[in-house]
Structure 1
Amino acid sequence: MTTTRSSASLLARQWQHGGWLSSLLLPLSALTAWAVARKRRQYLDGSRPAYRAPVPVVVIGNVYVGGTGKTPMVIATVDGLRARGYTPGVVSRGYGVKIGPDARVGSGALEAARYGDEPALIARATGAPVSVHPKRALAARALLQAHPDVDVIVSDDGLQHLALARDIEIVVQDERGVGNGRLLPAGPLREPASRLQDVDAVVTNIGTPNGPSPTIGTARPRHVQMWLEPGAARQIEGGATRALSAYAGQPRIAAAAGIGNPERFFSTLRAAGITLASTLPLPDHHDYADSPFQAMTADAILVTSKDAIKCAALHDSRLWEVPVQAAFSDPQLFDWLAQALRQRAPG
């Protein structure tokens, strides 16, 4: 385990700053560049057809592999569009779940084991219908068939899934930016950094506000800062709520996170005045088939909403979910999005 973590840490440093390992992998990155360019060219020239939904499609994705904060952005987008008169639906891959040939469509309290943790969280947080399948076009068709009232589709991830035509592309990145600027595996990028110039908006997840916001203008892409504001904690076993400030000054508070960047969650808690006696970073999409908390000596263990979706079966009264809500430097972000959708609506 120590060797695996050490290797992952080395690769993370190389992906951010470059180095001997990154340079060694550059020939493989050239193959990635060729494959990415070829695929994009095929969709642009029509040799590979893309499904054009009868309603507008907003894709929220990233070019940096792994977690950058897409899920809170998807939830905020669904809520923002609904507040402006739309009836949104969501399509997602359903990471880690065997879906089968047909898309799986549901809403409300969905099982993470059947839909994936992020789709289940999005469905619970927004109430919007969610359709999951690795083929986003198939998921979109199934969503519209089951929910014909949906008049805009929000794609959770899928920037590189060009088989689903889109009207708006939003990239979510974090403080790592584009890292060393190289494509996989020499760097962390799924597509060249120049792809950021082709999208409609770049949302940077900064963790906590710490300086002047970017100037809002009409240039494309639109640059916006996002940060995550924590709400009151909710006990997973029992449903009691407690103000996050109640944990400040307590000596035996721990935190765990199975997300793309666990340290971001821990930093959010520390910024709220909580001293963490211990932290447990877990792999993204950790399944919690067995409890990783038995050896933790803590009065309370704070976890993310994405983890809480899967932790109910553990029946551990120490577990408390800390929900977060996205906030933005641009108060007109979703007004802009709604107007852009009206201008680019299919047909």
Structure 2
Amino acid sequence: MSLQNAWYTKQKWVWILAPFTLLFWCISSLRRASFKLGFKRIKRSRLPVIIVGNISVGGNGKTPVTLALVEYLQSQGHTPAVLSRGYGGSQTTFPHLLTPRCKPSVVGDEPALMAKRLNCPIVIDPKRARGSEYIEQHTKASVIICDDGLQHYALARSIELCVLDKRGIGNGYLLPMGPLREGAWRLNSVDACILNANEEENALVNKLSSVRSPLFTMALKATSWVNVASNERRSLQDFSLEGKNVAALAGIGDPKRFFSTLHNIGIMPSKEISLPDHHHFQASDVPSGYTVLMTEKDAIKCANIAHSDCWYLQVNAVLPETFYAFLQTKLAQETYK
């Protein structure tokens, strides 16, 4: 059984990792204290900063939330810019402003996806404070959305949003015994938790009933199928798989989430391929002789190796109006943490 599976099935053997978890707790606690006590500098941007992060490792829906926030803020007359670490990319010069032609192998898969989907500045920099200064000085942004970075305390923030999926906090332990970067206590200090739970939302809400921060549920709505090689777009109704061998692959934090989405829209692939989050795809990963279905995040990395019958499912995060009202109120206050 893999370590990640052990986190979410509450296997007791993870206790052999307790000394390493204790070390992680000591280091992370000292780091937080150094910012709180002023030993390390915190950069306060002149722009409001919205953090879209999590307390666990692995993907759980931060990117769809970021996409939805950008589109909503633009509709309200704001000019957002996105700041990301660029995890998984080979870029070495920072800050780096993306274009839609940037390769995911260079800038990271999530930033490359956002650069393709969004009409706003996307900047990557592992030092978020430096990246925020670049956005202030070189763009016309009125608000910064930080994709991930909840634990990057060098950058002050106006709003903290913590995204969780149906896995919740797993066994509740810090790394490496469990999936958590910070303890579950952190959920009480963020401004809001966004639950990417879809049909499991009620069970997850019950598990998090003791959390004092506001809870908002999010659904991922499938909108269309897009051909990876040609960018041909088909509606869900016009996309036919009759008589075809279908393979689904996913290299995201929780591949089962993608497979469940397919099942929910009536697609039962004959082959389901789970790959690690941020997987670097090779041609051998894409099965031939099948209609291959994948996530948009994976499609960004498969553009040059996909055959003509590879498709990705475009999804949008649907958040309640109460969340956006909450967001507007918080933005109006513009107080820093």
- Same fold? TM cut 0.5: yes
Report the Cα offset of residue 127 of structure 1: 1.3
Q: Which residue of 2 aligns with 1:3?
A: none
Q: Is the 8 A contact 2:293 2:310 kept in 1?
A: yes
Q: Is the 8 A contact 1:107 1:127 kept in 2?
A: no
Q: Is the 8 A contact 1:105 1:146 kept in 2?
A: no
Q: Which residue of 2 aligns with 1:165?
A: 156
- 1:324 is aligned to 2:315: yes
Q: Map 1:29-108 onto structure 2 (within 5 A).
A: 29-108=21-100
Which amino acid in the other structure matches residue 50 of structure 1?
Answer: I
Distance (Å, rounded) in 2 between the aligned partners of 1:315 and 1:15: 33
Which amino acid in the other structure matches residue 6 of structure 2?
Answer: Q
- Matching residue within 171, 178, 184 for 2:175: 184
Report the Cα offset of residue 109 of structure 1: 4.1
Q: Is the 8 A contact 2:97 2:123 kept in 1?
A: yes
- Matching residue within 244, 257, 262 for 1:264: 257
Q: Say if 1:195 and 1:327 are closer, same or farther in 2 by CA, change over 3 A.
A: same
Distance (Å, rounded) in 1 between the aligned partners of 2:116 and 2:232: 18
Distance (Å, rounded) in 2 between the aligned partners of 1:331 and 1:133: 32
Q: Map 1:1-347 onto structure 2 (within 5 A).
A: 6=1, 8=2, 11-147=3-139, 149-208=140-199, 221-245=213-237, 246-247=239-240, 250-294=243-287, 296-298=288-290, 300-328=291-319, 330-344=320-334
> What SS does structure 2 have at the residue aligned with 1:323?
strand
Q: Is the 8 A contact 1:91 1:140 kept in 2?
A: yes
User: Gapped runs of 5+ residues in structure 1?
Assistant: 1-5
Distance (Å, rounded) in 1 between the aligned partners of 2:66 and 2:14: 32
Report the Cα offset of residue 338 of structure 1: 2.1
Report the Cα offset of residue 277 of structure 1: 1.2
Distance (Å, rounded) in 2 between the aligned partners of 1:291 and 1:137: 40
Q: Is the 8 A contact 1:107 1:123 kept in 2?
A: yes
Which amino acid in the other structure matches residue 176 of structure 1?
Answer: R
Report the Cα offset of residue 98 of structure 1: 2.6
Report the Cα offset of residue 250 of structure 1: 4.7
Report the Cα offset of residue 249 of structure 1: 5.2
Q: Say if 1:338 and 1:14 are closer, same or farther in 2 by CA, change over 3 A.
A: same
Distance (Å, rounded) in 1 between the aligned partners of 2:232 and 2:100: 20
The normalised TM-score by structure 1 is: 0.89
Distance (Å, rounded) in 2 between the aligned partners of 1:210 and 1:334: 19
Which amino acid in the other structure matches residue 340 of structure 1?
Answer: K
Q: Deviation per CA, 1:93-125, whole angstroms, max 9, x where unpaired?
A: 111113324211124443223321100111222
Report the Cα offset of residue 154 of structure 1: 0.4
Report the Cα offset of residue 319 of structure 1: 0.6
Report the Cα offset of residue 332 of structure 1: 2.3
Identity of aligned residues (%): 37
Which amino acid in the other structure matches residue 229 of structure 1?
Answer: K
Deviates more, 1:156-165 or 1:90-99: 90-99
